Amino acid sequence: MPTLSLSSPEDPQSLTLLGRLRETVPAFLQPVEFRLVQSRQELEAALRLVYDEYLKRGYVTPNAQRLKLSLHHALPATTTFIALRRRTQLLATLTVIEDSPLKLPMDEIYHEELDGLRRQGRHLVEATLLALNTECFGRGVFTMFHAKKLLLTLRLFKVMFDYLRSCTKADDLVACFNPKHAILYDFLELKPLGGRKFYAGANGHPALAARLNIAETKTHATWHTAYAFFYGKTPSPQPFAKRLYLSAEDLRELFVLASRLLPSASPAEVSHLASCYPSYDFDTILANR
Amino acid sequence: MRRTTDRTAPPTPPPRADIDQRTAERLPVTLPVTYTIHDPAGPIEGTTVTSNLSGTGVGFRIQQPVAPASPCRLRLTLPQRTDPLHFTGRVAWCRKIPHDSPQTFEVQVGLALSTPADVREEPSFATYCHFVASELVKRYLG
C-alpha cells in the first residue's frame, strides 16, 4: 500500500483499521489534505499508487520501478494532486498535463480530435492518472455510489479546478478513460470528444475521450451540485506556490537511470525539455552511467 | 447495522477487516415509488414512497412480508421529472415493523436494483446514478 513516511502517523491504529472504521463521511474527510505534490518522494508515491491500482486492472504491464511514469512528468507544468490522510496515507491521486510540443498522452489515439480543438486556438490540459487506493476502500461499490470514494474524488477535482482557474490559462480539460468510468465524467458534464478506441497507453483496454470547456463551468455552478461546490470559494494561487520542481538530479534519476524515458525521447522532445530547464546541463543529465 | 430479517438469505463469508465493506451510502430520500414484487405466494403491487435509497437499492414500507430474492419491478419518480424511471431488482431483505397493536404491523423492505453492465446504455440507471451522486454531494459537500 502506498504509505508515505513523511512523518509519524498521529494514530497508527486508525490507519490500519481505516477501512472498518464506522466513522461518518465528514469525520473521514476531515483529516484528509488535498493538495499538489511537494516533493519527489510524494510524486513517486503517487505514481506508485497509480501503478499498483492500474496493474490490478491490467491497465499497465509490470515494470521494475513500479511507477506509472511518462516523459510528460518531466515537464515542469505537469502537476500531480494527492489526497493524503493524516499526513501519511495516500488515498488518491490525479495528474494534469498541459499541452506542449510533447503533446498530450491521449494524443496517442485521439490526436485528430485534439488537433481540432488546437486549431480553434484552445489551450488544452489533460486530466489523467486518477487512482483511488483500493486498499482503503475495496472495489465492491461503484465510485458514484460510495460516498467516501465519490467525495474524495470530487474534493480532488476541486483542487484541480482551483489550480486550473488560478494558475493556468487552460481553455479545455480533456480526458481519456475506460468506458466503465464514463458515468463519472458524464456527471461532471464532460462532453464526448472521441468514440471508443483501444488505448495502448492503458495496455490495450478500451477508452473514450471527453472534454470540458472550463469557462462554461461557471454557469454549471448555478444548477449542478458538484460545480456549486467547485465554485464555492474563490481559488487563490497561494496554496499552489509550494510545488515540486524537479532538480537536474531528479530528472537524471527518474528519466535516465530508472526508466530510460529521456534517452528514448526524440531530439525535439529533449530540446523542448531542455528549454523548460534553461539552467540545467542536459548533456550531463543524459550522460551514460 | 443490526437487522432483524424474517426470511434470511444464506450467510456470506465474513468481511475483510481492513477494507471498508459497507455497501453504498443510504440516503434518507423520499420519492414516489410504484412496485410489483413477484413473491412466491403471488404478486404484490402498490404505490408508496421510499424511506431511503442508495446507488444499489431502495427501501420502503409495505403491508405484508415478502420472500427475500423475490424479483421485483419498480417505477421511481425523481424530483423535477414527470417521466418515471424503470428498474428491475430483487428483494434483499425484509423485516416487520410492529405498530402499537401487536396484530398490526408494516414491513420494511430493501430492494437491490439490477445494475446494468454498461450504466450509460441504461438511461434510467444513468439518470438515477447522477441523482444519487448529487444527493451525496448536497448532503456532504453542500
Q: What are the boundaries of each domain within chain A?
A: 12-245
pLDDT of residue B103: 73
Tell me the average pLDDT across A255-271: 96
CB pairs under 8 A between A and B: 103
Q: Is residue B2 part of a domain?
A: no
Average of per-residue pLDDT across B74-101: 90
Residue partners of A179: CB distance under 8 A and separation at least 6? A196, A206, A207, A208, B118, B120
Closest CA to A102 of A274, A247, A251: A274
Name the residue range of residue B84's domain. 32-141
Q: Closest Cα of chain B to A270: distance in Å?
A: 41
What is the model's pLDDT at position B118? 65
- Write out chain A residues lying below 8 Å of B21, CB-based: 19-20, 138, 140
Q: Does some domain include residue B132?
A: yes
Task: Report how far Cα A145 is from the mean position of its chain's Cα atoms.
Answer: 22
- List, for residues A93-134, the tens digit of each pLDDT value: 999 999 999 999 999 999 999 999 999 999 999 999 999 998
Among A25-34, A139-148, B32-41, B121-130, the minimum mean pLDDT is found in A139-148
**What is the domain-level CATH number for residue B129?**
2.40.10.220
State mean pLDDT over B8-19: 40
Contact A141 B56 (CB under 8 A): yes
Contact B118 A225 (CB under 8 A): no
| Residue B1 counted as domain residue | no
In our burial notation (b when 16+ CB lie closer than 10 A, e otherwise), range A278-289 reads eebebeebbeee
Please give the residue of chain A at the shortest CA–CA distance from B121.
Answer: A183
Most confident of A40-44, B20-24, B53-57, B83-87: A40-44
Task: Give me the pLDDT at residue A33, please.
Answer: 93
Q: How many domains does chain B have?
A: 1
* Residue B101 is assigned to a structural domain of this protein: yes
- Best A3, A20, A220 residue to mutate vs chain B (most B CBs within 10 Å): A20
Give the span between the Cα atoms of A193 and A212, in whole angstroms: 9
* CATH architecture label of A12-245: 3-Layer(aba) Sandwich (3.40)
Are the C-beta atoms of residues B71 and B11 closer than 8 Å to each other? Answer: no
Instruction: Answer whether residue B23 is part of any domain.
Output: no
Helix, strand, coil tally for chain B in percent (to 5): 15, 40, 45
CA A228 to chain centre: 22
Is pLDDT at A14 greater than 70 in this prediction?
A: no
Residue B92 has pLDDT above 60, yes or no: yes
In this prediction, residues B14-35 reach a mean pLDDT of: 69
For residue B104, what pLDDT is reported? 77
B57 assigned to some structural domain: yes
CB-based contact A249:A287 (threshold 8 Å): no
CA distances (Å), origin A54, targets A19, A60, A61, A140, A198: 21, 6, 9, 16, 16
Instruction: Please judge whether B21 and A140 are an interchain contact, meaning their C-beta atoms are less than 8 angstroms apart.
Output: yes
pLDDT of residue B121: 62
Domain membership flag for residue B113: yes
User: What confidence tier does A222 reach under pLDDT thresholds 50, 70, 90?
Assistant: very high
Residue of A nearest to B136 (CA): A147
What is residue B21's predicted lDDT score, i.e. its pLDDT? Answer: 43
Q: Does B18 sit within 8 Å of A20, measured CB to CB?
A: yes
Residue B125 lies in a domain: yes
- CA-to-CA distance for A283 and B34, rounded, in angstroms? 72
